[in-house]
Amino acid sequence: DAKTTQPNSMESNEEEPVHLPCNHSTISGTDYIHWYRQLPSQGPEYVIHGLTSNVNNRMASLAIAEDRKSSTLILHRATLRDAAVYYCILRDSGAGSYQLTFGKGTKLSVIP
Amino acid sequence: GAVVSQHPSWVICKSGTSVKIECRSLDFQATTMFWYRQFPKQSLMLMATSNEGSKATYEQGVEKDKFLINHASLTLSTLTVTSAHPEDSSFYICSARVSGRRTDTQYFGPGTRLTVL
Protein backbone atom coordinates (compact mmCIF):
# COMPACT_ATOMS: atom_id res chain seq x y z
CA ASP A 1 0.00 0.00 0.00
CA ALA A 2 1.17 3.54 -0.77
CA LYS A 3 2.42 5.60 2.18
CA THR A 4 0.64 8.45 3.87
CA THR A 5 2.02 11.32 5.93
CA GLN A 6 0.09 12.85 8.81
CA PRO A 7 1.03 15.30 11.57
CA ASN A 8 1.82 13.52 14.82
CA SER A 9 -0.63 15.56 16.84
CA MET A 10 -3.21 18.33 16.61
CA GLU A 11 -5.33 20.28 19.06
CA SER A 12 -8.79 21.69 18.68
CA ASN A 13 -11.18 23.60 20.85
CA GLU A 14 -14.48 21.95 21.64
CA GLU A 15 -17.32 22.77 19.24
CA GLU A 16 -14.95 24.14 16.60
CA PRO A 17 -14.26 22.51 13.23
CA VAL A 18 -11.17 20.36 12.84
CA HIS A 19 -9.27 19.77 9.62
CA LEU A 20 -6.97 16.75 9.73
CA PRO A 21 -4.57 16.67 6.77
CA CYS A 22 -3.07 13.66 5.03
CA ASN A 23 -0.49 13.63 2.26
CA HIS A 24 -0.29 10.71 -0.14
CA SER A 25 1.81 11.91 -3.05
CA THR A 26 2.44 8.38 -4.41
CA ILE A 27 -1.23 7.41 -4.54
CA SER A 28 -2.22 5.24 -7.49
CA GLY A 29 -5.42 5.34 -9.49
CA THR A 30 -6.92 2.32 -7.73
CA ASP A 31 -6.14 3.46 -4.16
CA TYR A 32 -9.10 4.32 -1.97
CA ILE A 33 -8.51 6.79 0.88
CA HIS A 34 -9.78 5.41 4.17
CA TRP A 35 -9.97 7.13 7.54
CA TYR A 36 -10.25 5.30 10.83
CA ARG A 37 -9.97 6.55 14.37
CA GLN A 38 -9.01 4.81 17.57
CA LEU A 39 -10.11 5.91 21.00
CA PRO A 40 -7.91 4.89 23.94
CA SER A 41 -8.03 1.16 24.71
CA GLN A 42 -10.52 0.46 21.92
CA GLY A 43 -10.41 -1.03 18.46
CA PRO A 44 -10.31 1.32 15.47
CA GLU A 45 -13.58 2.76 14.23
CA TYR A 46 -14.36 3.33 10.56
CA VAL A 47 -14.92 7.01 9.80
CA ILE A 48 -15.16 7.54 6.06
CA HIS A 49 -13.58 6.61 2.75
CA GLY A 50 -13.49 7.93 -0.79
CA LEU A 51 -11.84 7.63 -4.18
CA THR A 52 -12.04 10.91 -6.08
CA SER A 53 -15.06 12.93 -5.04
CA ASN A 54 -15.61 14.58 -1.69
CA VAL A 55 -17.67 12.45 0.68
CA ASN A 56 -19.96 13.27 3.57
CA ASN A 57 -21.48 11.08 6.25
CA ARG A 58 -22.92 11.62 9.70
CA MET A 59 -19.49 11.47 11.32
CA ALA A 60 -17.33 13.60 9.05
CA SER A 61 -16.53 14.93 5.61
CA LEU A 62 -13.64 13.92 3.39
CA ALA A 63 -12.18 16.48 1.04
CA ILE A 64 -9.93 15.02 -1.65
CA ALA A 65 -7.58 17.23 -3.66
CA GLU A 66 -8.09 17.30 -7.39
CA ASP A 67 -4.75 15.57 -8.01
CA ARG A 68 -5.56 13.11 -5.16
CA LYS A 69 -2.15 13.65 -3.60
CA SER A 70 -3.67 14.90 -0.39
CA SER A 71 -6.92 14.75 1.52
CA THR A 72 -8.47 16.32 4.58
CA LEU A 73 -10.79 14.80 7.14
CA ILE A 74 -13.19 17.41 8.46
CA LEU A 75 -14.96 17.13 11.78
CA HIS A 76 -17.53 19.88 11.69
CA ARG A 77 -17.87 20.41 15.45
CA ALA A 78 -15.32 18.72 17.64
CA THR A 79 -16.54 17.18 20.88
CA LEU A 80 -14.55 15.67 23.71
CA ARG A 81 -15.53 12.23 22.40
CA ASP A 82 -13.65 12.98 19.18
CA ALA A 83 -10.31 12.89 21.01
CA ALA A 84 -8.58 9.93 19.36
CA VAL A 85 -5.81 8.86 17.01
CA TYR A 86 -6.92 9.36 13.41
CA TYR A 87 -5.43 7.13 10.73
CA CYS A 88 -5.38 7.95 7.03
CA ILE A 89 -4.86 4.75 5.03
CA LEU A 90 -4.64 3.98 1.34
CA ARG A 91 -6.11 0.69 0.22
CA ASP A 92 -5.46 -0.61 -3.26
CA SER A 93 -8.78 -1.83 -4.62
CA GLY A 94 -7.01 -3.60 -7.44
CA ALA A 95 -4.60 -5.62 -5.30
CA GLY A 96 -7.13 -8.15 -4.04
CA SER A 97 -5.58 -8.30 -0.58
CA TYR A 98 -8.08 -6.05 1.26
CA GLN A 99 -5.47 -5.34 3.91
CA LEU A 100 -5.13 -2.06 5.78
CA THR A 101 -1.68 -0.83 6.74
CA PHE A 102 -1.78 1.49 9.74
CA GLY A 103 0.78 4.28 10.13
CA LYS A 104 1.27 6.35 13.26
CA GLY A 105 -1.75 8.57 12.69
CA THR A 106 -2.59 11.96 14.17
CA LYS A 107 -3.42 12.21 17.84
CA LEU A 108 -6.24 14.73 18.17
CA SER A 109 -6.71 16.45 21.51
CA VAL A 110 -9.92 18.38 22.13
CA ILE A 111 -9.77 21.22 24.62
CA PRO A 112 -12.94 21.94 26.60
CA GLY B 1 -22.96 -0.11 11.00
CA ALA B 2 -21.55 -3.62 11.19
CA VAL B 3 -20.75 -4.89 14.68
CA VAL B 4 -17.79 -7.04 15.58
CA SER B 5 -17.35 -8.47 19.05
CA GLN B 6 -14.37 -10.01 20.79
CA HIS B 7 -14.20 -12.29 23.78
CA PRO B 8 -12.69 -12.00 26.28
CA SER B 9 -12.08 -8.27 26.55
CA TRP B 10 -9.11 -8.93 28.79
CA VAL B 11 -7.25 -11.98 30.03
CA ILE B 12 -4.38 -12.62 32.42
CA CYS B 13 -2.57 -15.94 32.17
CA LYS B 14 0.54 -17.65 33.38
CA SER B 15 3.56 -18.11 31.18
CA GLY B 16 3.39 -21.33 29.18
CA THR B 17 -0.39 -21.55 28.97
CA SER B 18 -2.52 -21.10 25.87
CA VAL B 19 -5.18 -18.44 25.40
CA LYS B 20 -8.03 -18.41 22.88
CA ILE B 21 -9.57 -15.16 21.66
CA GLU B 22 -12.84 -15.16 19.74
CA CYS B 23 -13.89 -12.66 17.08
CA ARG B 24 -17.52 -12.62 15.93
CA SER B 25 -19.37 -10.64 13.30
CA LEU B 26 -22.77 -10.11 14.93
CA ASP B 27 -25.03 -8.89 12.15
CA PHE B 28 -23.27 -9.89 8.97
CA GLN B 29 -21.22 -12.68 7.47
CA ALA B 30 -17.52 -12.19 6.93
CA THR B 31 -15.53 -14.40 4.61
CA THR B 32 -12.39 -12.50 5.54
CA MET B 33 -11.26 -11.46 8.99
CA PHE B 34 -7.98 -9.97 10.10
CA TRP B 35 -5.95 -10.17 13.31
CA TYR B 36 -3.82 -7.28 14.52
CA ARG B 37 -1.54 -6.73 17.48
CA GLN B 38 -0.84 -3.38 19.12
CA PHE B 39 1.88 -2.71 21.67
CA PRO B 40 1.67 0.34 23.97
CA LYS B 41 2.05 3.67 22.18
CA GLN B 42 2.46 1.93 18.83
CA SER B 43 0.23 1.49 15.82
CA LEU B 44 -1.65 -1.65 14.81
CA MET B 45 0.41 -4.35 13.14
CA LEU B 46 -1.33 -6.90 10.94
CA MET B 47 -0.60 -10.45 12.07
CA ALA B 48 -2.66 -12.55 9.68
CA THR B 49 -5.56 -12.69 7.27
CA SER B 50 -8.17 -15.30 8.07
CA ASN B 51 -10.37 -16.70 5.31
CA GLU B 52 -13.39 -18.86 6.07
CA GLY B 53 -12.77 -22.47 5.25
CA SER B 54 -9.10 -22.12 4.42
CA LYS B 55 -5.75 -21.63 6.09
CA ALA B 56 -4.80 -18.21 7.38
CA THR B 57 -2.15 -16.13 5.66
CA TYR B 58 0.45 -14.88 8.11
CA GLU B 59 2.55 -11.74 7.84
CA GLN B 60 6.29 -12.00 7.76
CA GLY B 61 7.74 -12.58 11.22
CA VAL B 62 4.53 -13.96 12.74
CA GLU B 63 4.88 -17.60 13.83
CA LYS B 64 1.92 -19.61 12.56
CA ASP B 65 2.54 -22.41 15.04
CA LYS B 66 2.41 -19.97 17.92
CA PHE B 67 -0.59 -17.94 16.79
CA LEU B 68 -3.17 -20.47 15.62
CA ILE B 69 -6.06 -19.04 13.64
CA ASN B 70 -9.27 -20.87 12.87
CA HIS B 71 -12.08 -19.42 10.75
CA ALA B 72 -14.59 -22.25 10.79
CA SER B 73 -17.73 -20.23 10.07
CA LEU B 74 -18.74 -17.02 8.36
CA THR B 75 -19.24 -15.28 11.69
CA LEU B 76 -16.42 -16.60 13.87
CA SER B 77 -12.64 -16.52 13.79
CA THR B 78 -10.46 -17.53 16.71
CA LEU B 79 -6.86 -16.72 17.59
CA THR B 80 -5.06 -19.04 19.99
CA VAL B 81 -1.81 -17.84 21.50
CA THR B 82 0.01 -21.06 22.35
CA SER B 83 2.59 -21.32 25.11
CA ALA B 84 2.23 -17.64 25.87
CA HIS B 85 5.18 -15.69 27.25
CA PRO B 86 5.39 -12.19 28.75
CA GLU B 87 6.55 -10.75 25.42
CA ASP B 88 3.20 -11.84 23.94
CA SER B 89 1.43 -9.40 26.25
CA SER B 90 -0.33 -7.00 23.93
CA PHE B 91 -3.67 -5.65 22.70
CA TYR B 92 -5.09 -8.05 20.11
CA ILE B 93 -7.69 -6.67 17.72
CA CYS B 94 -9.69 -8.41 15.03
CA SER B 95 -11.57 -6.95 12.11
CA ALA B 96 -14.04 -8.25 9.56
CA ARG B 97 -14.22 -7.24 5.95
CA VAL B 98 -17.47 -5.84 4.65
CA SER B 99 -17.81 -5.50 0.92
CA GLY B 100 -20.61 -4.48 -1.36
CA ARG B 101 -21.33 -2.51 -4.47
CA ARG B 102 -20.30 0.78 -2.90
CA THR B 103 -18.05 -0.20 -0.06
CA ASP B 104 -15.16 -2.43 0.85
CA THR B 105 -13.89 -1.74 4.31
CA GLN B 106 -13.18 -3.32 7.67
CA TYR B 107 -15.06 -3.15 10.96
CA PHE B 108 -13.04 -3.71 14.09
CA GLY B 109 -13.69 -5.48 17.34
CA PRO B 110 -13.12 -3.74 20.69
CA GLY B 111 -9.85 -5.59 21.28
CA THR B 112 -8.57 -8.11 23.82
CA ARG B 113 -5.86 -7.12 26.27
CA LEU B 114 -3.61 -10.08 27.02
CA THR B 115 -1.26 -9.99 29.99
CA VAL B 116 1.10 -12.91 30.44
CA LEU B 117 2.70 -13.19 33.87
- Residues of chain A with C-beta less than 8 angstroms from the C-beta of B60: none
What's the gap between Cα A7 and its chain centre? 11
Q: What pLDDT sits at residue B67?
A: 97
Residues B52-66: b if buried by 16+ CB within 10 A, e if exposed: beeebebeeebeeee
B97 touches chain A (CB under 8 A): yes
From A32, A43, A103, residue closest to B108, measured CB to CB: A43
Please report which helix (H) or strand (E) contains residue A110, including its range: strand A106-111
Q: How far apart are CA B11 and CA B34, in angstroms?
A: 20
**Residues paired with B7 in a beta bridge:** B22
Q: What pLDDT sits at residue B37?
A: 97
- pLDDT tens digits for A3-59? 899 999 999 999 999 999 999 999 988 899 999 999 999 999 999 999 999 999 999
Cβ–Cβ gap B44/A102 under 8 Å: yes
Write out residues in chain B with pLDDT < 70, as ranges: 1, 101-102
